[in-house]
Structures are given as structure tokens and as C-alpha cells.
Chain A
Amino acid sequence: MALTGAEILIRCLQEEGVEYVFGYPGGAVLNLYDELFKQTRIKHVLVRHEQGAVHAADGYSRSSQKIGVAMVTSGPGVTNAVTGIATAYMDSVPMVIVTGQVPTSAIGQDAFQECDTVGITRPCVKHNFLVKDVANLALTVKKAFYLATTGRPGPVLVDIPKDVSQATAEWSYPKAVTMRSYNPVTRGHAGQIKKAVQLLLEAKRPMIYTGGGVVLNDAAESLTRLVRLLGYPCTSTLMGLGGFPGTDPQFTGMLGMHGTYESNMAMQHCDVLLAVGARFDDRVIGNPAHFYRADRKIIHIDIDPSSISKRVKVDVPIVGYVRDVLDEMVKLVESSPPRAGAAEVKAWWTEIKAWQAKDCLRYDHSKTVIKPQHVVEKLYEITGGDAFVTSDVGQHQMWVAQYYRFDKPRRWINSGGLGTMGFGLPAAMGVQLVNPGATVACVTGEASIQMCIQELSTCKQYHLPIKIVNLNNRYMGMVRQWQEFFYGNRYAESYMDALPDFVKLAEAYGHVGLKVERPGDVEGALREAFAQKERLVFLDFITDQTENVFPMVPGGKGLTEMILAEEL
């Protein structure tokens, strides 16, 4: 049966079980939209800016085991989408982006709304395709889904010229696809796994450090089993939160630039470090030379060989899906004789408990001004620690990471790698759509929220009852904090002047707005908001203007060279 390219694309998406397409129409995708219009299986979510479409598809992927799809038009549609694509790429989020392109005959002619989509997006996708012949379209879409979801996941883009979506070809959709040039190693090496377990069982000061790979590979259960079996301390990167229960006594809190004192100290002073689906990035281990100074053996499990020994040399590299490797390790540990040296591990725990006694996340409460940390703690309480929480980028993001103790994976949705302000609200839309009925909160700042504020309109159209928790300090807080610490209090362009009245703004979009100015009103306002199950509520918390995030490892410093709140 001969179908048009547009029909083929929609059929392919249906075959892949796609429920939602997040997108925005335009000339080059009119054929595709026409086919979407003619069917009912795939629902389209019309965003208000293409960046929002990609972030929404991203949030959809991150908070589920499904795959988000975005569709945008050529030229400005694509360039608007690039921030979203780069965001997903940096955090290895599986996603498929379909873009329209000018007709093949017009490519290279500087045609209206032409841009070199494949060229512009090349450095920020796992792979991309320009489909020049409709006969290749179905196979290309199959490959796109396959590439996005296997190995180290990531966004894959398919660029379809307008004449290709019009031309016809026989319909057939392959069940599976293989590519001779793409064979990621997915099974960890048995010998290496054995060696790793051996090392772990002989450790005197062991530490387990986990990252986003655990969440992406749905390895949380396997990880939890292993960590509990070993009885060792466990920390997590920003991206890994929820991979191991945040309320578990073995969890020492997040590590890194704004990590806990105890996690950073234990990272530095351990003798055996197990890194799982994490990549030792600059925000996590600080200055690598300083990190090296301490002598420790490192085991590193990751699906991406290029993540191993990139920034830190490791002793036992294991390439493979982290979940399978962890399962293997669990089996080996279970069948090993009880470990010797238990007393040493106990002494190590005593040391860690002493670090914990510093209570590095303590902050001064206030009766007159709302402390942002307090809002997050109350949010945690009122949502029973069980909400999906998205965030933007800045201090508020760090406070959620520190004070909202995620017990489950895929609950904490934030842009860690690219650090994209504007991510939170559109991401929350994708989260809410794929988790209907779930509690979804977007914790944001008054600067970040304005970067994709237009999506309030999308939320209205699709009845998305997201709760926006705006920690409004009238500053680009994180920028102001750096200026305070490292630029002599010169607050260059970080004051947010001329802020809108967020309550009125929310109301103008048809939502509920609440302004909260007194600490005593925080809990009540949150309760009131979360009781409104059907409505989006915009909570504008007027918070302490000059609160800082502690602990802090200044850029370029060693992991243990932390600034603590009490020291200032």
C-alpha cells in the first residue's frame, strides 16, 4: 500500500506507541499536521514556544519509561527547539524530534525558513537524519527510536523536507533494526564484575557514588538492593537523586558543589569508591588534581566507555547497562562468605556520623522573612515526599536537591548538565501528562519562570494542574551569590527589577495565584494550593533576598574545601 511521507510518519509514531506529540506547526510541517488532524490515536499538545515543546517531551521521558516526541517546523521552529534538544542531550534523555525542512529542491538556496538543521543540531543530538527519499522514511524513524533508547540514551532528530512528506512509498515498518556501525557494549565484563565485588568486600572505607545513569537505566531497585546488602554509605549526584531512597539511613545526601559535608568528605577519604552511572564532572568532584591527592581504588560502571577515565582514572572499569551489572554484583555478594574487616567499616561509619553531626544543612529560621529552605521542607511534608518535582536553575534548584528527600527515581526532574533556566514549567507539563492524577510541583525562581512563562497558556488549554512554587527573592539568586562571594558584592545585572504581579499574571492566564509573604503563612498556602486538585496554582513566595546555598565548593577548589554556613 502506497502512503505519503506524512502518513508514513504518523503510522510509524503509532507503531512506536507514541501517545503525545508536543509541537508547534508551520509551513514545512503542514503535511504532517494534516495527517495528525485526520487521526485520533496520537494526541498533539500545542505549546506556546518550541523550546517548551522539547522540554515537555523531555519531562515526559524523564518521568516515565516512555519516550517523548516533539515536532517543530523548519528554520525558527528548529532554532527555538535547540535549547531543549541540548538540554536533553546533556542529561542523556531519550527523545525523538521531528522537524520539517524546506523541499529538497530548495535546500541550499537560502529558502524561506531554511536552516541547516542537521548541522545546527549535530553537536547536541545522539544522532540526526535528513530524509531525502520517502522510501527511507520508515526505516529512519525506526532507527531514531532505536538509537534514542539503547546504549547511552539521547535525543535523535529526524529532518523531513516538505516534498518528502508529500511523496509516496510502499508502507512497511520493520519490527527491529540492526546497524553494523552501532553496537554498544551492554553486558558488563564478568571478570571485571568479580574483581569489583572483591575490592568492595575488602574495603575499609567504602563509598558508593551514583548518578543519573541509575535513574535512566531503571536500576534504582538493583542499586538499593546492593547498597543495603553491603551496608555502605551512599551518595548521589544531582541527577541521580531518587536512585537510592533519600530517607534511607545509608544515604549521606547529595555530593558536589552544593553537596553535604559528609558526602564530600567521604568521597575524598574513602579507600574504595564505587561509581555507578555517574561521570565525575566538575560540579561533582571539584578540582580533579585535589581529588587525586587522596589514594583510593575506583570502580566505575557506565554504559558509555567515553565516560570512563575521562576526568578521573579508574581502576576497575565496567562498561554495560548499570542495572544488569548491579544485579550481577548482588548475586556475587550474596554468595560470598561474610566479609572480614567489619570492624573497620564500623569505624568508617563512626567517622561519617561525626561529619554528619556538623548538620551542614541547618539554616536559621526566621519569624519575619520566609526562608526558601523552609518552603521546600514544607513542600516535602505536604506532598508526603511523593510528588514529581521539576525545577529551573539556580539556588531554588539546589534547595530542592538538598531538602526534598526523593525516595523514588524519576521524581526529580531538572536540567543538570546544561543548566537551562526555563526548563521547569514546560517539563512539568510533560510530567503531568504522562502521570495523570499525580502531584506535580515546579519549584522555580522569579527569573527562571519568566523564560518560559508563556506555557501557562498551554497548561490552561490541557487542564494541567501543576503547582508552581516560585521562590521569589527578587534576584537571580545563584548569580548574586557568586557575585557576593567572588566579586566583592557587585551585583551586576542580577537584580530582577520590574517584576510582574505573578498573582495577576496567573489569573490572566485563567489560573489561581497566591502571594505569600509571611513565614507563618507558608504551610497554609501550600495546603490550600495542593488541595486544588483541578487547578494550576501559582504560589509566589516572597523569600529572604540574600539567602545563600551552603555548603559550597567554590569553582576550581577541592571537594573538601567547602564553605559552610556557620563559617560566615
Chain B
Amino acid sequence: MRHILSILVENEAGALSRISGLFSARGYNIESLTVAPTEDPTMSRMTIVTSGSDDVIEQITKQLNKLVEVVKVVDLTDGDHIERELMLVKVRAAGKDRDEMKRLTDIFRGRILDVTDKSYTIELTGTGAKLDAFLQAIEPGVILETVRTGASGIGRGERILRI
């Protein structure tokens, strides 16, 4: 099953490689990984999307907690949560494709950030599944380039991750 892990980690050189090294050394999956400092610059927050059986996820959580620089680990998928990912897509937008791309972007509540006479650069935010759906909705031939940030997540309501 797919899980989203939120990790508070000391903002220190090497913390990222300790975490990614743990995943590769123990053969765990990383679907995506995002990291940036929090409002407290001594700490970073990381979101890792991974998959595995319950036993594997339990081990991942325990192994992460064992890393000296990891402050806290939460499995967001254990409860209600919000997941967002940002994608930038450059598509061919000429002739009849041009109107169609505009329409699709609107339907998916995307924004066109950059325009040339042959292309659009579209910004889209949502769950990973929504971004996938957008890419599936447009013809593969028109996609020139995509870049995705990987998911970030946060708990709903009173679910708060901090120290």
C-alpha cells in the first residue's frame, strides 16, 4: 500500500543522505521525497511517499526513528490528511491543440504560466492521482516536458506534527 511519511529532521548536512541511504540499504521503495526547512530553520520537514506491506512500513518508521538526526516520524496515511503536489508541464500548443489545452487546463484548475506561439507551460497542483489524470487526459504526443515536486502532506484538523 502507498504511505506518506512526514519526517521532522535536524537541518544538518548529511541528514538527507542518511535517510535516503537507509531506504536503499534496506531495499525500501521511495516513490518521491521532498524536503525543505520549516519555520524553525534548524529543522527540516521531509515528505516521503513509499509503499509496502504494514510490516514493511512499521520497519521503515522504526528505522527512521533510529536515525540520530530524525526528530519525529508520522505516517500521514494513518488518518485524515491533505496531500498536494506541484507539476509544471510544457505542452505543444499549436493549431487546434491550443484551445484544447487551454480548456483542459481550466477543467483541472491549472494555470498557464508561460506562453509562446507553439507552447504552453502549465502549472497544476493536486494529489498525485490528479496530476496523473491530467497527463492521461492529454495526448502523449503533445507533452514536451514535465517536472513534479513529489507530494507534500499535512494532517487534517487537530493532527499537528511539531516538537
Contact = CB atoms under 8 A, between A and B. Distances in A.
B18 interface: yes
Interface stretch (A117-125, A166-174, A329-337, A491-499): A117-125
Contact of B68 (A119, A130, A181, A306): A181
Contacts of A127: 68
B137 interface: no
A309 B68 contact: no
A180 interface: yes
A179 B68 contact: yes
Contacts of B13: 130
Given A181-B10, A309-B58, A122 B66 contact: no
Nearest to B18: A122
A306 B55 CA distance: 11
Interface in A42-77: none
Contacts of A187: none
A304 interface: yes
B14 A305 contact: no
B71 A309 contact: no
B105 interface: no
A182 B10 CA distance: 11
B55 A309 contact: yes
Interface string A291-312: 0000000000000111001100
Contact of B59 (A147, A152, A181, A306): A306
Nearest to B163: A180
A119 B59 contact: no
A181 B71 contact: yes
A123 B69 contact: no
A126 B59 contact: no
Nearest to B68: A127
B62 interface: yes
B65 A305 contact: yes
A122 B17 contact: yes
Contacts of A313: 55
A130 B13 CA distance: 9
A118 B65 CA distance: 20
Interface string B33-72: 0000000000000000000000100110011011011110
Among B10, B13, B55, B62, residue most surrounded by chain A Cβ atoms (within 10 Å): B62
A119 B163 contact: no
Interface in B101-147: none
B1 interface: no
A353 B62 CA distance: 40
Nearest to A308: B62
Contacts of B59: 306, 310
Nearest to A119: B17
B19 to A, nearest CB: 11
Given A306-B59, A309-B55, A309-B58, A126 B18 contact: no
A179 B55 CA distance: 29
A305 B64 CA distance: 11
A122 B63 contact: no
A513 B80 CA distance: 72
Contact of A123 (B21, B65, B70): B21
Nearest to A147: B68
Nearest to A185: B65
A180 B55 contact: no
A147 B21 CA distance: 20
Nearest to B64: A306
The binding surface of chain A is classed by DSSP as mixed
A152 B66 CA distance: 10
Interface in B1-46: 9-10, 13-14, 17-18, 21, 25
Contacts of B18: 122
Given A122-B17, A123-B21, A306 B69 contact: no
Nearest to A129: B14
A400 to B, nearest CB: 31
A304 B68 contact: no
B73 to A, nearest CB: 11
Interface in A111-168: 118-119, 122-123, 126-127, 130, 147, 152
Contacts of A304: 66
Contact of A181 (B17, B55, B63, B69): B69
B1 to A, nearest CB: 18
B7 to A, nearest CB: 11
Contacts of B25: 123
A306 B67 CA distance: 11
Contacts of B14: 118, 122, 130
A305 B66 CA distance: 8
Interface in A78-125: 118-119, 122-123
Contacts of A126: 68
A126 to B, nearest CB: 7
B68 A182 contact: yes
A304 B62 CA distance: 9
A179 B67 CA distance: 12
Contacts of A310: 59
Given A306-B59, A309-B58, A122 B68 contact: no
A208 B67 CA distance: 30
Nearest to B66: A306
A390 to B, nearest CB: 29
A180 to B, nearest CB: 6
A120 to B, nearest CB: 11
11 contacts: A122-B18, A126-B68, A130-B14, A152-B66, A181-B9, A181-B68, A181-B71, A304-B66, A305-B65, A306-B65, A309-B55
Given A118-B14, A147-B68, A179-B68, 4 more contacts: A122-B17, A181-B9, A305-B65, A306-B59
Q: Which 6 A-B pairs have the closest CB atoms?
A: A306-B62, A181-B71, A127-B68, A305-B62, A182-B68, A306-B63
